[in-house]
Structure 1
Amino acid sequence: MKKAPNRVPPRSAGFTLLELLVTVSVLALIVGIGVPSFQDIIRRNRLTEQTNGLLSALALARSEATKRSGIVTVCPANDPEAPTACADDADWTANGLIVFSDNIGDRGTLDSDEDNPETNDVVVLHLAPASTQNITISTDRGMVSYDRDGALAQGTPSMEFALVPEGCRGDDGGRVVQLTTTGRARSQKSDCNGD
């Protein structure tokens, strides 16, 4: 009598339930760690972008004041589409920023005489759009004016801008832009209170 050979059933191609559960668990762990870190990176990049935009507007105003030998002002716009003056409050976030030649009339107002072809004054030198990054820019003043030497106009004391993102947490979640009486601006990390 012949014995039938032992046949091993063929192994199916695929994953076992245990292999699938281990793979899904590892993937869930990686996503759980990676997503919050990625959100922090996005928040920091948006904060850096907003800080650089403010620093650029301040640098432009200082440069133009020395180039034009006159007063140049940076302030929050009263209207994002057609600014005619600085905003009445010190909200530097809502309507964007304007940089303009401010030699004639009331400080902080775009006077019609300032668009004078003889002196090459241009009313609006720069209009930065309102922030869509959910970052609050706050300071205690409604405008910054530079004189022809590039310093803050008429003995204006030094000032600070606090930039704080929505949902800020931690000791280095915000930024502070410091502006000296000589007109120099610099940025540094701050806590979520702007300190």
Structure 2
Amino acid sequence: MHAQPPLARQASRGVTLIELMITVAVLAVLMSIAAPSFREIMESQRMRAAAFDLMADLTLARNEALKRGNIPAPVTLSPASADWAEGWSVTVGTEVLSQRNKVGSGVAPKLTPTNLAKLTFDRNGRVSNTTDVARFSLSNSSGTRKRCISLDPSGRPKSSTAACPT
């Protein structure tokens, strides 16, 4: 039997406290560099998700109006509160077809013309409460990213990654 020298056994024990502290410090520096860009990525994903949800619900409202035909109550898309950022719902009378929650921090959807409190679709799938093009303008908190969802009077929604025209 060969006995190992005591120094060889001590070298294979693991990491020291100083090495662990240096590793944690390096990770903290890397995370502080990555955090601001991660926030922008999250806002971008929230805006993309809000635009997708809004397009889906506009299409649902139009298709339901076409499918149901002559109904006593129109199909409406209305905000959960005075602000579209708090969410919205698609309803036919008292029946709720779809309901969305808050869009997330950093995303602000706005509907123009501003005198529209909700969108109403008639039996032909057209927007019946305006003759203008309705536009949902979405932007992030810094205003660097924008999306526009336009709804012409025929009721067909279109999405673009550019700012809405004024």
Please report the TM-score for the alignment, with normalisation by the length of structure 1: 0.61
- The structure where helix makes up a greater share of residues is 2
Provide structure 1 residue ranges, at least 5 long, that are not aligned to the other structure: 1-8, 79-88, 102-109, 111-122
Name the aligned partner's letter for residue 147 of structure 1: D
Contact 1:171 1:190 in 2 (8 A): no
Q: Which residue of 1 aligns with 2:102?
A: 131
SS class of match (1:136): strand
State yes or no: 1:179 paired with 2:154. no
Provide structure 2 residue ranges, at least 5 long, that are not aligned to the other structure: 1-5
CA distance in 2, matches of 1:57, 1:15: 56
Q: Which residue of 1 aligns with 2:77?
A: 74
CA RMSD of aligned residues (A): 3.3
- Identity within the alignment, %: 31
Contact 1:163 1:175 in 2 (8 A): yes
Please report the TM-score for the alignment, with normalisation by the length of structure 2: 0.69
SS class of match (1:60): helix
Name the aligned partner's letter for residue 75 of structure 1: S
Runs of 4 or more off by more than 3 Å in structure 1? 9-12, 14-26
CA distance in 1, matches of 2:77, 2:41: 30
Q: Which deviations, in whole Å up to 9, do the C-alpha atoms of 1:88-146 show, x marking residues without a partner? A: x5x2233x323223xxxxxxxx4xxxxxxxxxxxx324241430613332211211122
- The structure where strand makes up a greater share of residues is 2
CA distance in 2, matches of 1:98, 1:188: 22
Number of residue pairs matched? Answer: 152
